[in-house]
Amino acid sequence: MLTFVGLGLYDERSVTVAGREAIRSADRVVAEFYTSRLVGATVADVEDAHGVDVEVRDREGVERDPDFLDDAAETDVVFLTAGDPMTSTTHVDLRLRAHERGIETRIVNGVTAATAAVGLTGLQNYRFGKATTLPFADAHGGEGVPDSVVETVDDNREHGLHTLVYLDIKVDAGQYGRTDRGSPDGTAAREEEFMTADHAAGLLADVHPDALGIVVARAGAPDAEVVADRISALADGDFGDPLHLLVLPGELHPLEAEALAAFGDAPAELLPE
The 10 Å CB-count burial string (b at 16+, else e) for 153-167 is beebbeeebbbbbbb
Per the CB < 8 A criterion, the answer to whether 9 and 113 are in contact is: yes
Residue 97: CB minimum distance to a copy of itself, A: 10
- Which residues, 232 to 261, sit near a copy of itself by CB under 8 A? 255-256, 258-259
Rounded-to-integer distance, Cα 232 and Cα 202, Å? 7
Closest CA to 59 of 83, 39, 29, 89: 89
- Residue from 63, 73, 76, 115 binding a copy of itself (CB under 8 A): 115
Binding mask 177-206 for a copy of itself (x = CB under 8 A): ------------------------------
- Residue from 70, 74, 96, 175 binding a copy of itself (CB under 8 A): 96
Q: Give whichever of 72 and 259 is closer to a copy of itself, judged by the CB atom.
A: 259
Task: Answer yes or no whether residue 1 interacts with a copy of itself by CB under 8 A.
Answer: no
# binding residues, a copy of itself (CB under 8 A): 60
Rounded-to-integer distance, Cα 72 and Cα 121, Å? 40
Write the DSSP string, 60-125. Answer: HHHHT--THHHHHTTS-EEEEESB-TTSSHHHHHHHHHHHHTT--EEEE----HHHHHHHHHT--G
Per the CB < 8 A criterion, the answer to whether 152 and 130 are in contact is: yes
Binding mask 7-46 for a copy of itself (x = CB under 8 A): -xxxxxxxxxxx-xx-------------------------
Q: Which residues bind a copy of itself (CB under 8 A)?
A: 4, 6, 8-18, 20-21, 84-87, 89, 92-93, 95-96, 99-100, 106-107, 109-112, 114-116, 118-120, 122, 124-133, 155, 159, 161, 220, 222, 255-256, 258-259, 262-263
